Amino acid sequence: MKGIGVLLSGGGTNLQAIIDTIEHGNIAADINLVLSDRPDAYGLIRAEKRGIPAYCINRKKFKDAGSFNEAILEKLTAHHVEYIVLAGYLSILSPKLVECYRNKIINIHPSLIPAFCGKGYYGDKVHQAVLDYGVKLTGATVHFVDEGTDTGPIIFQKAVEVLPDDTVETLSRRVLAVEHELLPKAVALLVQDRLKVSGRKVILKSSGMMSNS
């Protein structure tokens, strides 16, 4: 069975969505490791409840970003992680780590990229920016991770209507529901090697074209 590593910084509801999808037999992989950059992340507890190895690698404990990312890479290697899912992970992965897992790292972002993304756009800050701008549609995006911030090729997107009386809380709940739909779907295809990157486009390969690698 192929091995997934999930990196998170918060409550881990997207992790839970992946766990549930695996348990229903719809993702052909195991979660070998959950890592957080925050010791109080509830996602670590979710993992422990399922018997999944869970660790905090706290950025503040390292002298620089290089040593921090080396520690992450060591854990990923030790737990035989083949694919990485960023599920609300707020630290930046190093170019070396990205290169080691080229086209095998995906991220979920709570907007329709390229809108409301990039440096400084995360969590509720995204939803507040959406409301402040007055757009009528937002949504969620699953994309591959490259060396930039929210700049990798897009796998899936789904729109969410912004209602006139929305608050950050109400909007975030509806966007999160879409995240829980899109991310497990993308993970299932990722571990089957059915997502082919061609330039900035992601092409879905048919099941009959799956790689044996």
Just list the catalytic residues. 109
Cα–Cα dist 66/52, whole Å: 26
Alpha carbons within 13 A on the beta-carbon side of 15: 32
63's tokens: 């002298």
Amino acid identity for residue 65 in this structure: A
